[in-house]
Amino acid sequence: MILIGIGVVVLGFVISLLSLGMASTVNGRLVMVLLGLAVSLFGIIGVINRAFLKNPIWKR
């Protein structure tokens, strides 16, 4: 699950990077970069952190 989360975080970065080639206007790039950031943040908070919290030390 952690590895999947890392993949999601990297995917967000790739989306932002692709904005350089796929969008030619500032607004288009802005939308893609914000989308990429949202995906990366979901990867950290929603996937990776959740995976680490599955068996936390305080429940052992």
Partner 1 sequence: MKQSLVLVGAMLALMAGAFGQAPGAAQPAAAPAKPITDVDLKSVETPKPEARAKGDADGSLTGTAADVAVADAKKGLTIADLVNQAGQNKIAINFVWTLVTGYLVMFMQLGFALLETGLARAKNANHTMMMNIAVYGIGMLAYWMIGFSLQMGGVGAIANLGGTPPLSAEHAFTLFGKPFGVFGQNGFFLMHNGTNDVAVMVLFLFQMVFMDTAATIPTGAAVERWKFSAFAISSFVFAAFIYPLYANWAWGGGWLSNLGANFGMGKGYVDFAGSGVVHAVGGLSALAIAMVLGPRIGKFTRQGKPQALLAHDLVLVITGCLILAFGWFGFNPGSTLGASTSGNLRIGAIAVNTMLASAGGMMSAMLYMWMVYGKPDASMTGNGFLAGLVAITAPCAFVNPVGAVIIGLIAGVLVCVSVAFIERVMKIDDPVGAVSVHGVCGIWGVISVGLLADGRSNFGGAWNGVNGSVTGLFYGDAGQLVAQLIGVSTLIGAVFSASLVLYLAVDLFVGQRTSVKSEMEGLDLPEMGALAYPEFDLASRGVEV
Binding site for partner 1 (CB under 8 A): 2, 6, 9-14, 16-17, 19-21, 26-27, 29-30, 33-34, 36-37, 40-41, 44-45, 48-49, 52-53, 56-59
- Quick one: tokens of 34? 């914000």
Taking the complex as a whole, how short is the minimal distance between the CB of residue 39 and partner 1, in angstroms? Answer: 9
Rounded to the nearest angstrom, the gap between the alpha carbon of residue 3 and the centroid of all alpha carbons in its chain is 12
* Crossing angle of the two packed helices 2-22 and 26-41, in degrees rounded to 10: 180
Give the HSE-up count for residue 40: Cα atoms under 13 Å, Cβ half-sphere. Answer: 14
Taking the complex as a whole, how short is the minimal distance between the CB of residue 8 and partner 1, in angstroms? Answer: 10
Taking the complex as a whole, how short is the minimal distance between the CB of residue 19 and partner 1, in angstroms? Answer: 7
